[in-house]
Amino acid sequence: MSTDLRKHLVRAALAMGLIMGSSTALINLADAAESASAQSNTANRIFKDLQSRVLQIELHPRGGGGNAATGTGFVVSHDGLVLTNYHVVGNAVLEPDLYLLEYQAPGGQRGNMEVVAIDVIHDLALVRLSGARLPPLSFFKGTLAKGDRGYSLGYPLSQGLTVVEGTYNGLSENHYQPHFHMTTAINSGMSGGPTVTADGHVFGVNVARRLDGQLVSFVVPSRFGEELLRSYETAPLPASGFKTEIARQLQIQAEAISARLLSNSTGVKVLGNFRVQDMGSIGVECWSSPMREPEWRYEIDDHQCDSNSDVYINEQLMMGRVKYFNRILRSDKLGVTRFAYLQSTRFEHKIDKDVDRKHLGPYECSDRIVALKGTRARAVLCTRRYLQFPGMYDVILKLTTVDGKNEALLSKLTMLGFPWKDAMRVAQHYMESIAWVP
Amino acid sequence: MGTLAYVEVLKRNGEVLARHAVTELPCYIGRGYDSDVLIDDPYIDTTHLEIEEIEPEGVLVNDLESVNGTKHLSLGTPFVSGMVLPNDVLCLGRTRIRIRSCYDAVQETLPMHHSSLPDRLNSTTSAVLALLIFLLVVIAEIFETATQDAIKQMFYGVGTTSLGLVGVVIVSAVINRVFTGATHLAAHVTLVSLAFVVMCVGEAVVEYTFFAFDLSGTDIAKIVVTLGSLMGMLYFQMGFITRVTRRSRLMTVLMLSIGVAGWIWADRELDPDAYAKQNYNTVLKPRIFLAVPGIKPATFFEQTQELLKRKVDDKAGH
């Protein structure tokens, strides 16, 4: 399984777990037992201190019925502001007509809550409790060292408030947005809960867990929560403007990514006789896979990179991600025509037919023969627009060289949820950096 | 008394089908068994025409108040009575005749190879035509591939096909006119639609064989529609060599229109994705077909992005 696919599973599964509430697929009893045995007195004290201020957040369909999703939130201000993950409350933000938010405290008190500020890039949201006034949790101000203890609180799979002890392991190395890597058992339903130091100060917000590993969990550094709180207190946003706000935040991230991709710091990667842009410098994850089969009369070398910068918008939408895929096709045994045939079939472009008509318009494409450095290529530019987020597009640039007799480059650049101008500039830069150097 | 003149019954292309000798005057031409020159055509009268006098400059002919009348084809006017010149053709009902008098000058004998030229050219003509059609398909393909652009592509598709057809019409008309003398519209139309069929079958086969394209449902629909219209036309035009009526001409146009409309419909509606797919699917050709220099990446983005953005925005209902 490619890392690309695995990456999808992390978020998708987390979101799915939230929707299904009690999805058994995610319960890992072995993990739970392991964590439970590691509990200490500190965990005991933290639980007692904080339990009244860590709430379960429930997303209900307005038409009645049970929970659509559950998550966790914790109090961060005296006037009833609660910090949680954006992905816990995302549906209520995007479709306020369909969903409403409620909270349930460990004591059993219930009440309504509404979203007042969001930070989709870091997957954070501020919600306001109606009525209840609770003392806030305090944020951690110092720095942590790898190996420090961290205690995560939340309501895993609606099992009641739980505290889990784990180990802080610094910044994750393959996330575009800063995430602390925690070795602990964060499960669906704990999203949005606090991860605190032994003194009970919040240093992270529970956000995700890798499904393909053991206890590899991630928390959002709490400073982003503090920033969100500050910006809300200085300039609150009208609830009607959330979609524009999402587009604005995505745009800022896209601009930052684009600037890094366009800067000269991106290097050059040599693949066979081709030179392509190397995006390694933007902190993306890259991997190569040569493919040789005895019965094949050709060779394939793949190289692909992924920015891992996707931003969760809802179950269907992940925006703000760049990835590219380069394939070198080489053969000494095939004639010109048969090689061209092979290249044609490998160049096939199957655009996803199950287009999400609710969120995305249809793809449109345009294609030409372009003159690159040292070779010509057929370039295909495809794009579609996001219906709810003005100015955001998916852009795919595919190209394949047409001059080599027995060697060809097939390249695909994908940008999901990017502003038009940035996407076009990145695509052009990407295209211009391809060269044939036999 | 010797022969005074001959009444020649002609094919549409001018070839002589039959010759009747005129031995006495007046001479009556008609369907009746008492006529001097008997012509088997239900649209002419029992006694239709009268040859009154034969003179060195021409023949004096009268229409005997026939039901369907007589037409002077060389002048293109109805004919009642008057002098008919040696090369004039008259049309009675559906029959064409020419009257040659004994005063007419006999033409010089042609050497043998001249007279056999058209026969030899017929096979050459077909070969040239086939080659021409194949070249047109290839040229259309190159243009379509090289300059593919959403809007331009539509024009190139329709434009190159139309241009190709016009070219085939002109070439076949010229060849027919020069070497066989045929000028019949239906013959050209049939030839053109045949070329149409060859073009699409050829294109599909070439694409399928060499370029690894899918033979899509649209391609098959195109071939079926075109073949259908051709069959229809052949059916209505069975007797096009000897007779053409307003009805059959109308039918030809109608069938052709249905064929073309069907083609366009099939292209756009039957497989709506095919149109979009064409743009970005496996559009790749061996180098021999890529005599296109290629544009700079900057030009590529200049040319495509505005159009693309407008289309995407339009489709998204912006």
- How far apart are the C-alpha atoms of A192 and A152, rounded to whole Å? 10
Tokens standing for A316? 């269907």
pLDDT given at position A166 = 92
B311 vs A contacts (CB less than 8 Å): 364
Chain B residue with the nearest C-alpha to that of A350: B281
Put simply, the answer to whether A364 touches B290 (Cβ < 8 Å) is: no
pLDDT given at position B145 = 52
> Mean pLDDT lowest for which of A260-269, A273-282, B19-28, B194-203?
B194-203
pLDDT given at position B254 = 74
- How far apart are the C-alpha atoms of A146 and A186, rounded to whole Å? 18
Residue of A344, A366, A424 with shortest CB distance to B284: A344
DSSP string, chain B: ----EEEEEE-TTS-EEEEEEE-SSSEEEESSTT-SEE---TTS-SS-EEEEEEETTEEEEEE---SS-EEETTTTEEE-EEEE-TT--EEETTEEEEEEETTSPPPPPPPHHHHTHHHHHHHHHHHHHHHHHHHHHHHHHHHHHHT--HHHHHHHHHHHHHHHHHHHHHHHHHHIIIII----HHHHHHHHHHHHHHHHHHHHHHHHHHS-----HHHHHHHHHHHHHHHHHHHHTTTTTT---HHHHHHHHHHHHHHHHHHHHIIIIISHHHHHHHHHSS----GGG-----B-HHHHHHHHHHHHHHHHHHHTT-
CA B270, distance to chain mean position in Å, is 29
Tokens standing for A306? 């992924």
- State pLDDT tens for residues B42-73: 899 999 999 998 888 889 999 988 898 898 88
Q: Are A60 and A70 in contact (CB under 8 A)?
A: no
- How far apart are the C-alpha atoms of A117 and A137, rounded to whole Å? 18
DSSP state of A307: -
Put simply, the answer to whether A340 touches B276 (Cβ < 8 Å) is: no
Chain A residue with the nearest C-alpha to that of B144: A368
Chain B residue with the nearest C-alpha to that of A380: B280
Put simply, the answer to whether B149 touches A336 (Cβ < 8 Å) is: no
Cβ–Cβ contact B151 with A under 8 A:
no
Q: What are A411's strand-pairing partners?
A: A326, A399
What value does the mean pLDDT take over residues A20-44?
Answer: 50
Chain A residue with the nearest C-alpha to that of B299: A370
3-state class (DSSP) for residue A61: strand
Pairing relationship of beta strands B37-38 and B27-30 according to DSSP bridges: parallel
B303 vs A contacts (CB less than 8 Å): 368
Bond from prior residue into A96 cis (ω within 30 degrees of 0): no
Alpha-helical segments (H) within A215-313? 222-234, 242-262
Alpha-helical segments (H) within A122-221? none
- How far apart are the C-alpha atoms of B1 and B4, rounded to whole Å? 8
Q: Inter-axis angle of helices B117-146 and B150-175, to 10 degrees?
A: 170
Residue of B284, B309, B313 with shortest CB distance to A340: B284
Put simply, the answer to whether B294 touches A380 (Cβ < 8 Å) is: no
pLDDT given at position B93 = 87
Decide if domain A248-436 falls under CATH 3.40.1000: yes
pLDDT given at position B217 = 56
Going by C-beta distance under 8 Å and a sequence separation of 6 or more, which residues neighbour residue B115?
A: none
Direct distance between the N- and C-terminal alpha carbons of chain A, in angstroms, rounded to an integer: 33
Would the ipTM clear 0.85, i.e. be above it?
Answer: no
Stretch(es) of chain A classified as CATH 2.40.10.120: 3-237
Put simply, the answer to whether B280 touches A361 (Cβ < 8 Å) is: no
* Mean pLDDT (chain B, rounded): 68
Q: Are B233 and B193 in contact (CB under 8 A)?
A: yes
Task: Mutate one of B300, B302, B305 to test the A interface: name it (highest A CB count within 10 A).
Answer: B300
Look-up: residue for tokens 């010229």?
B174
- Of the pLDDT bands very low, low, confident and very high (cuts 50, 70, 90), residue A2 is very low
Residue of A336, A351, A376 with shortest CB distance to B294: A376
Cβ–Cβ contact B105 with A under 8 A:
no
Chain A residue with the nearest C-alpha to that of B212: A341
A384 vs B contacts (CB less than 8 Å): 312, 316
Chain B residue with the nearest C-alpha to that of A337: B286
Cβ–Cβ contact B265 with A under 8 A:
no
pLDDT given at position B88 = 87
Burial class (CB in 10 A: 0-12, 13-18, 19+), A377: buried
- How far apart are the C-alpha atoms of B30 and B32, rounded to whole Å? 6
What value does the mean pLDDT take over residues A223-250?
Answer: 85
DSSP state of A360: B
- Mean pLDDT: which of A269-273, B46-50, B157-161, B229-233 is highest? B46-50
DSSP string, A377-420: EEEEEEEEEBSSSTTEEEEEEEEEE---SSEEEEEEEEEEEEEH
B286 vs A contacts (CB less than 8 Å): 336-337, 340
What value does the mean pLDDT take over residues B18-32?
Answer: 89
> Residue-wise over A8-35: b if at least 16 C-beta within 10 A, else e?
eebbebbbbbbbbbeeeebbeeebbeeb
What value does the mean pLDDT take over residues B269-273?
Answer: 49
Residue of B280, B285, B305 with shortest CB distance to A380: B280
Asked if pLDDT for residue A20 goes beyond 90, the answer is no
Task: Mutate one of B152, B273, B284 to test the A interface: name it (highest A CB count within 10 A).
Answer: B284
pLDDT given at position A235 = 80
- State pLDDT tens for residues B85-96: 888 899 988 889
pLDDT given at position A202 = 93
Decide if domain A3-237 falls under CATH 2.40.30.10: no
Put simply, the answer to whether B282 touches A345 (Cβ < 8 Å) is: yes
Put simply, the answer to whether B305 touches A424 (Cβ < 8 Å) is: yes
Cβ–Cβ contact B283 with A under 8 A:
yes
Going by C-beta distance under 8 Å and a sequence separation of 6 or more, which residues neighbour residue B223?
A: B197, B200, B201, B204
User: How far does the CA of residue A435 sit from the closest CA of chain B (Å)?
Assistant: 12
Put simply, the answer to whether A364 touches B305 (Cβ < 8 Å) is: no
Asked if pLDDT for residue A204 goes beyond 90, the answer is yes
- Of the pLDDT bands very low, low, confident and very high (cuts 50, 70, 90), residue A300 is very high
What value does the mean pLDDT take over residues A158-163?
Answer: 87
Chain A residue with the nearest C-alpha to that of B208: A341
pLDDT given at position B176 = 59
Q: Are A245 and A117 in contact (CB under 8 A)?
A: no
- How far apart are the C-alpha atoms of B212 and A344, rounded to whole Å? 7
Look-up: residue for tokens 């030899």?
B120
pLDDT given at position A288 = 85
- How far apart are the C-alpha atoms of A280 and A267, rounded to whole Å? 8
- Of the pLDDT bands very low, low, confident and very high (cuts 50, 70, 90), residue B274 is very low
Cβ–Cβ contact B315 with A under 8 A:
yes
- State pLDDT tens for residues B157-187: 556 566 666 666 666 666 555 555 554 555 5
Chain A residue with the nearest C-alpha to that of B278: A365
What residue ranges define each of the domains in chain B, with the CATH number in brackets? 5-101 (2.60.200.20), 115-312 (no CATH)
Stretch(es) of chain A classified as CATH 3.40.1000: 248-436
10 Å Cβ neighbour count for B290? 19
pLDDT given at position B237 = 47
User: How far does the CA of residue B166 sit from the closest CA of chain A (Å)?
Assistant: 28
Give the C-alpha distances (Å, rounded to integers) separating B173 from A159, B124, B181, B186: 87, 15, 10, 11
